Amino acid sequence: MFPAGPPSHSLLRLPLLQLLLLVVQAVGRGLGRASPAGGPLEDVVIERYHIPRACPREVQMGDFVRYHYNGTFEDGKKFDSSYDRNTLVAIVVGVGRLITGMDRGLMGMCVNERRRLIVPPHLGYGSIGLAGLIPPDATLYFDVVLLDVWNKEDTVQVSTLLRPPHCPRMVQDGDFVRYHYNGTLLDGTSFDTSYSKGGTYDTYVGSGWLIKGMDQGLLGMCPGERRKIIIPPFLAYGEKGYVIPPQASLVFHVLLIDVHNPKDAVQLETLELPPGCVRRAGAGDFMRYHYNGSLMDGTLFDSSYSRNHTYNTYIGQGYIIPGMDQGLQGACMGERRRITIPPHLAYGENGTGDKIPGSAVLIFNVHVIDFHNPADVVEIRTLSRPSETCNETTKLGDFVRYHYNCSLLDGTQLFTSHDYGAPQEATLGANKVIEGLDTGLQGMCVGERRQLIVPPHLAHGESGARGVPGSAVLLFEVELVSREDGLPTGYLFVWHKDPPANLFEDMDLNKDGEVPPEEFSTFIKAQVSEGKGRLMPGQDPEKTIGDMFQNQDRNQDGKITVDELKLKSDEDEERVHEEL
């Protein structure tokens, strides 16, 4: 640093145009020459031999600057250097703290600009010189590089480099933020970066945990936004510095990862709501849903789609993080919603695993597939009924034929009877179909169409079945094609009226005292064809008749005798007497 020259030399604040003229003069005169006429220099000669492409500001009178220099005489002999002291000059320009020639030579200079200055004696140390260092009437040569410039009137300078199209919220005082940064001095020298530390910088804003300039520079930022923040030293580390040089301006390139406030609640945004939502999920319901989970900057940390399987859980009962528990309640089947969860309702300060950092805001894009409650029953909605009067409806034991389409509640088709070219057949109450479908088919008229919503505990349960996911709610559209009265439990054949008085004699067609399978089959078929009795519906008549014969052939010798032949009603009565 150079002390001020003799008091007789007044300080001049040169306009930029005059400085440029001085440069032109310097080029015209040639460095090292006194003047075109060989006389003494009248002013500082400036050679701008390196000018940076970007120059956001130029040095003006009253600015505080930080610079390096080498000082030599005309013969090249060095008399001083800031490099030798390993200390920048840090001083205010244009207020008499420097020799007049240096004050003038620094005006209009840009950060990282390099200049050569020729300072005539009357703008340096004059006819007196500086004892032991600068002889009288010495012309001084300086090689200067400017590294920093600021003014006490400066404020934090913020430049938005990238702003995301969607900004759910902006940083306010009291918010907790997570951000990455690169910190440099004004000349580009790096002094710190969060990227090398393997994690974001996490802190509260406006609570005194940051330097004042950073507190100000972060305000109004959106998650995913990139900013350049220039902070003057009096809003940074001031005269003492901290790892960085004293009186240094700081430049931060900041990427905001996320922001939340300890008072934040779960934020819900409905992305798609299916029409006709008649039921919304509540605490205690069991839900199946797909999701993509990301951090606030868009980084994906988990997805149920990648596992090709829904996430299945009870809601409102503590099985999932509190924010998700809250965010899923009130949803409709088929709804898509975005759930933003602050860390105190997610994984807190510690995070979890290697994908969710501490204090992270989580965003879930959720598609609700279905939900049910363990207390749910089959929901039945009649789509159409035949115009004719319906005197008989289906009941337990009836044999029914019906067409059906079966799907999940998100519309995924599972099965349809139309693929088989024939109606499905079942005896109601015989445990041949899932319980919910059995229930939904009861009380129907032939020709009626119904929609059935069957909860999983009345369908295929938690394990599911081939083609049916576990815990899936099923949607059926059924149409009853026909119904037949069933037979009492345990009966394969019944008479419409009383059986023949001489049953064995009527059955023994050739009157040889025994009934082989052929005679038995012929007799039963005749009873059916004449309308005197009927076989169990829904089964192969030949098999049913064969089973009946086997039941009567007690000794399994291939024929029935009069002693073996007994009606089921007689067998049941004998069994009652045995129990008594």
Phi, psi of 17 (to 5 degrees): -60, -40
Please name which of 50, 172, 30, 43 lies closest in space to residue 112, comparing C-alpha atoms: 50
What is the DSSP code string of 271-330? EE--S----B--TT-EEEEEEEEEETTS-EEEESGGGTS-EEEESSSSSS-HHHHHHHTT
Please name which of 119, 118, 140, 137 lies closest in space to residue 31, comparing C-alpha atoms: 118
Measure CA 408 to chain center: 25
Return d(Cα 470, Cα 80) in angstroms, integer: 84
Establish whether 142 is a catalytic residue. yes
Return d(Cα 553, Cα 569) in angstroms, integer: 17
Establish whether 399 is a catalytic residue. no
Please name which of 234, 195, 231, 238 lies closest in space to residue 214, comparing C-alpha atoms: 231
Quote the tokens at residue 389: 């009067």
Helical axes 541-552 vs 517-529, angle rounded to 10°: 130
* Catalytic choice (2, 67, 69, 493): 69
* H/E stretch holding 505: helix 503-507
Q: How many residues comprise the chain?
A: 580
Q: Distance between the two ends of the chain, CA-based, in angstroms?
A: 124
* Catalytic choice (125, 289, 371, 402): 125
Phi, psi of 369 (to 5 degrees): -80, -55
Return d(Cα 439, Cα 82) in angstroms, integer: 95
Establish whether 176 is a catalytic residue. no
What is the DSSP code string of 41-104? -SS-EEEEEE--S--S----TT-EEEEEEEEE-TTS-EEEEHHHHT--EEEESSSSSS-HHHHH
Return d(Cα 373, Cα 396) in angstroms, integer: 26
Establish whether 201 is a catalytic residue. no
* Catalytic choice (73, 79, 201, 314): 79
Return d(Cα 249, Cα 34) in angstroms, integer: 38
Contact indicator for 258, 297 with CB cutoff of 8 Å: yes
Please name which of 520, 522, 505, 517 lies closest in space to residue 562, comparing C-alpha atoms: 505
Quote the tokens at residue 301: 């940390």
Please name which of 71, 82, 143, 147 lies closest in space to residue 110, comparing C-alpha atoms: 147
Contact indicator for 360, 178 with CB cutoff of 8 Å: yes
Structure letter (DSSP) for residue 521: H
Establish whether 99 is a catalytic residue. yes
By annotation, the residues acting in catalysis are 69, 79-80, 99, 125, 142
